Amino acid sequence: MEIVSSNRSHGGVQGVYRHASAATGTEMTFSVFVPDHAEGAKLPVVWYLSGLTCTHANVTEKGEFRAACAEHGLIFVAPDTSPRGEGVADDAEGAYYFGLGAGFYVNATEAPFAQHYQMRRYIEEELPALIGAEFPADMARQSIMGHSMGGHGALTIGLRNADRFRAISAFSPIVSPLNCPWGEKALTGYIGADKAAWRDYDACALIEDGARVPDILVDQGTADNFLEGQLKPDLLEAACADAGQSLTLRMQEGYDHSYYFISTFMAEHLAWHKARLG
């Protein structure tokens, strides 16, 4: 693991790191904030998954999470959104919502994406092992959150691994790739045309199929220009209601899809996570 940068901030250390990933077959970059702590202490871990076109840097530079993480004693991990580098396939049509920066946190099975787009395995297996080995992380206390495509990732990874993640929250998540244009293009390209295979990557379908967690928190801005066509939080609300899955859905008046929105409510989400991480 290579240290790309390390900066003192809010009584802790904000680092950016790079390593060779076996899952993706590429170099991967991620950021970790570690608040000050007693020698030998292990701290709970909050994972943050970013959205379309983003890297680790978006939330690291604009998320305004460090003060809250320092207050609550939380390690904050922000991976990249897809593999990158020479030879990594991208969308031939140049769509921003597929290919580089848009890995959708899946294990791709379709050529040419299957070679590198193994983001599910990277987030669920490889990077947690590295975090547990290299940082003062209590891997028995983990939670996960994300934004947009990363909200989709947080919901689906959290629902599939309910024994690992004690809490799931999201900002403006893609709740059902089965039912939106972004998801249809991405999952067709990565997984293939058989929509039955998509259900493992759709939060609403996972809940319909029996996945359960103690609680889910979602914040959604009412002025989000992707609200009706792509995000559709009403589908998640209906799926949770039908299944008896606890959901707190907060429609935030006048907020859009940007980090102005995310940074406004980030501290509330981290306090919510801390209460569930113990």
From the list 148, 169, 172, 176, the catalytic residue is: 148
Active-site residue identified among 116, 147, 257, 269:
257
* 148 flagged as catalytic: yes
Selecting among 80, 82, 224, 273, the annotated active-site residue is 224
Is 80 one of the catalytic residues? no
Place of tokens 């020698």: 39
C-alpha to C-alpha distance for 50 and 183, rounded to whole angstroms: 16
Q: How many CB atoms lie within 10 A of CB 115?
A: 15
The string over 222-256, giving b where at least 16 C-beta atoms fall within 10 Å of a residue's C-beta and e elsewhere, is: eebebbeebbbbebbeebbeebebebebeebeebb
Q: Residue 240: beta bridge partners?
A: none
Element (H, E) at 157: helix 149-160
Contact 231, 223 (CB under 8 A): no
37 an active-site residue?
Answer: no
Length of the chain: 278
Task: List the catalytic residues.
Answer: 148, 224, 257
